[in-house]
């Protein structure tokens, strides 16, 4: 469910982009992520890391885009966002000995430390590659950039996720939510 909630900013951006232009989409995105951060803070007492990272990237890159009237900055934010995620996964794993993918999914999936480490590494590669492909679309195929961003990346992400878990199906065990709740 959270995956689909995280798509709302992309959908909003797409709608405003197609209805108006990239600058209207940038304003809509800036307003939405600000509202999302405020809402999370007042309803949960804190802002989730994903919303915070999005906010910290959208506001400055959006402001520069609007101030300079140059769409490059809001487009490059997409690459930087995915590279920040890749770096966070690497740094947390190698320097803090915390596997963020495992922490997010350990209530749904059981796996060995080696398997979690491999899955984490594949996500690092995936996020890095998505950021690089975004650059290709910015420079070589700018007319198709919006379609790469949405629905392209969410679809590719779902395919990657299902493929990854399919590939590791013998090394992982999906946890039944009912038995998981009875253990706690």
72-99 pLDDT per residue, tens: 999 999 999 999 999 999 999 999 899 9
Distance in angstroms (rounded) separating the CA atoms of residues 145 and 137: 5
Read off the pLDDT of residues 107-154 as tens digits, 9 standing for 90 and up.
Answer: 888 999 999 999 999 999 999 999 999 999 999 999 999 999 988 998
Distance in angstroms (rounded) separating the CA atoms of residues 125 and 26: 28
Residue 8's pLDDT band, with cuts at 50, 70 and 90, is confident
Predicted TM-score (pTM) of the model is: 0.85
Distance in angstroms (rounded) separating the CA atoms of residues 81 and 90: 14
The pLDDT, as a whole number, for residue 10 is: 86
């Amino acid at each position: 469910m959270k995956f689909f909630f995280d798509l709302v900013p992309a959908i909003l951006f797409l709608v405003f982009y197609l209805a108006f232009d990239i600058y209207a989409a940038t304003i809509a995105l800036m307003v939405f992520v600000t509202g999302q951060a405020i809402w999370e803070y007042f309803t949960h007492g804190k802002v989730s890391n994903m919303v915070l990272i999005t906010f910290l990237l959208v506001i400055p890159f959006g402001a520069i885009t609007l101030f300079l009237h140059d769409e490059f900055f809001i487009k490059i934010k997409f690459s930087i966002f995915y590279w920040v995620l890749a770096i966070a996964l690497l740094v947390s794993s190698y320097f803090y000995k915390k596997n963020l993918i495992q922490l997010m999914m350990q209530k749904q999936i059981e796996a060995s430390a080696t398997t979690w480490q491999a899955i984490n590494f594949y996500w690092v590669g995936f996020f890095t590659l998505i950021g690089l492909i975004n650059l290709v679309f910015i420079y070589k195929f700018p007319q198709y950039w919006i379609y790469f961003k949405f629905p392209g990346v969410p679809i590719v992400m779902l395919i990657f996720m299902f493929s990854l878990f399919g590939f590791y199906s013998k090394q992982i065990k999906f946890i039944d939510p009912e038995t998981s709740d009875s253990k706690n």
